[in-house]
Structure 1
Amino acid sequence: MNSTTSFAAMPDEQGYFGAYGGQYVPPELKQVMDDINSAYEEIRQMPEFQQELASLFADYVGRPSPIFHARRLSEQLGGAQILLKREDLNHTGAHKINHCLGEALLAKHMGKKKVIAETGAGQHGVALATACALVGIPCEIHMGQVDIEKEHPNVVKMKILGCDLIPVTRGTATLKDAVDSAFEEYLKNPQDFIYAIGSVVGPHPFPKMVRDFQSIIGNEAREQCLNKYKRLPDVVTACVGGGSNAIGMFTAFLNDSQVRLVGVEPAGEGLDTDRHAATLTMGKPGVIHGMACYVLADEEGNPDPVHSIASGLDYPGIGPQHSYLKDLGRVQYDSVTDKETLDAFMRLSRVEGIIPALESAHAVAWAIRSAPTLQPHQQILVNLSGRGDKDVDYVAGLLGL
């Protein structure tokens, strides 16, 4: 598992990561997806595209994002040192801008007339609206009504940035329903529209494409750790909903067998309830939104209603590459509850002066739980995937602040 070619071939030409991935789409969409894949493979080889994207990462997003040693938190916990990869400092406040810039540039290259997307917590929506404003393409974002009410600051940002925000009231009115709604709109004119998926999910080539754009996180972090600490971290962890920030971080370390990789899922109100979204922990292989992956579903294969305190994690599926990595045993998938997440949100805020996104606070909570079990010379690198501006009103309401 530690050879340099172990993971190089993921996915195969049909978009499969082992048994997961593929294109489970209507026949009329097969050619459309293949055209997107061809355009992506073409554009990624173009020096001018790579130069434009690198320039935007540096001068627009503000990359590289730094690694911060959370010394006070580490001292309080005892045990391992906690390091934070500060994706929260990116323009728009999260890792989502990394792939949204790539998708917007791809849409421009393909001559698309509108970009359509879903959003849960609103970070993908804000990032995509930002990228579309930058390149001058109309943008339509579908968002569940429950999430609109929870994430008001991001809703306002999207409207200011000029996107057409579509409230989704069907079903549970959360992320899964927003995906369904956005995909239906996309199907009306897939030749002129492009569906900019917000995570490493959906039909091929999106899991590959979003991963590639997000891999800058891990590539930077690996180099930063070697330069600053002359070593790799012992543990690398990130929250997992669809899985984009986690796969973006993990990819650079997959062949480093000495580095333990941990994805943290939302246990919500408990794994012994139906109020969680721990897909890899509690789900089973199935098909959802154009891909084969682990799914939380009933006996008929219908996706279960799911829950997380973090709107960006309440999804009943998971990226196909994560499904494959679970089966391989290369990545460990654990979970933390809403309560642990809320405690971590407040603790990081008050000990280090960093307000994390509730999504990212899942990974922080796992690090808080795990650090005391390790030695002081060991390091846990946490992908702090986003900041908590969007969550402060919601958290204040929960805690009566």
Structure 2
Amino acid sequence: MDDAAPTDGGPASGEPDRGRPGGRGPERAPRRRRGIAVAMMALFVVIAIVVVLLPAGARWYTNRVPSDLRPSQAPEQLRSLSIDFGMVVDPKTDWAAVRRHLDQVGATAVALNAGRVEFTAFDWPAHPEVAAEPGTDHLAVAARQLRVGADGTQREVSLIVDAFIPEWIKSDPSVGGIGVEGKRGPYTASASQLYSGEVGDRLVAYVAALGERYDPSAIEITELFLSFYTYGPDDLALYRQLTGAADWPRSPDGSINQLDPSIGIWRSQVLAHLLGRMRTALDGVRNGQGRDIKLVMDVRVDWTNPAAGRPFSGQDYAILLESADLLQVWAYLGSTTAKGSVRAPSEITRLTGALNGAGLDMSRFIMSVGLWTGAPGAEPPGRLGPAVLGEAVTAATSNGISAVNVTPYSLMSNAHWTALARVWN
């Protein structure tokens, strides 16, 4: 091999490279282009990383749960608005506008509907398949926007759990309650399911999950009642277990006497037992701090005998108060009467007077003024006029009541906000 022959493709003389064939001297441009290419490649890598990470970061921020949904100091006057589930999970909801309305009326609290165990407002790890929008925590989004008023005052944020399970019943009819004629109810679980079945277990687990994740001021249970669909064989077995009776109470013709007081007491005990399980579950979350989360039960009204509650629906107030911290009374002037008729606001004053006269602790009641009127489920729903709303809210703060709720947010018009502001401000 010739010693002068190149061995590595470089010059044979050992002199510095004078350039490529053509005699143009040192060619530095390719090195600059290589540097630019490297820089551009690095830039593209950075952009790619940002493209990948920005959505994840945005999701993290969007789903970040505020740590202050339960103020250390409770407001002297609870003035709350309930926000419908449909609004909570709607990405088009203008939360800045909602916040302005809450500021306008001086609301000290807001209740966000967290959905049902079969349709949730966030990714529940135990049942991710039921999320309204996987990957988005709608409760965190809303709470972050609404938890502080314009003056810097912190609002209480509570969460609402709807106990209806229509989709679950469709997929597994055995969990639904059965009426006296053998027909299953479309929305409510059987008494035995709520007492010790899978439905009750899942409701308790959902309440605990909400308490652990959000640490809200309160968790409110709504649509939890037992009226007509509690007569299946499993429910009869539970009735026998809790009452010691051999059979349902019977009328002279042999039919079940649905108005017998024992059934109302039994139903109330079933619901109180479920509430007790929820209370125990909350007490155990967040290393025991969950004991400060209030458990609120929505209840119906017997306008003829308000202090008794609605035992027929399983809502004997005295029995439920053994397990729930607060009862939120549906002081709905328009939804319990004949179509088109509305009760006078003075009926609410009579209601609070009856509760007070019965010796009940008025600090454990919230009066909820509902805007619905007319037939239940009507589309579009009727609603109370602004003037009636103002009178109803005024009547609700009577006979020692210091906590008032207005529901639902979706039925509030500008005139309603103005009327409510006159009362609360």
TM-score normalised per structure 2: 0.29
Q: Which has the larger radius of gyration?
A: 2
Structure 1 length-normalised TM: 0.31
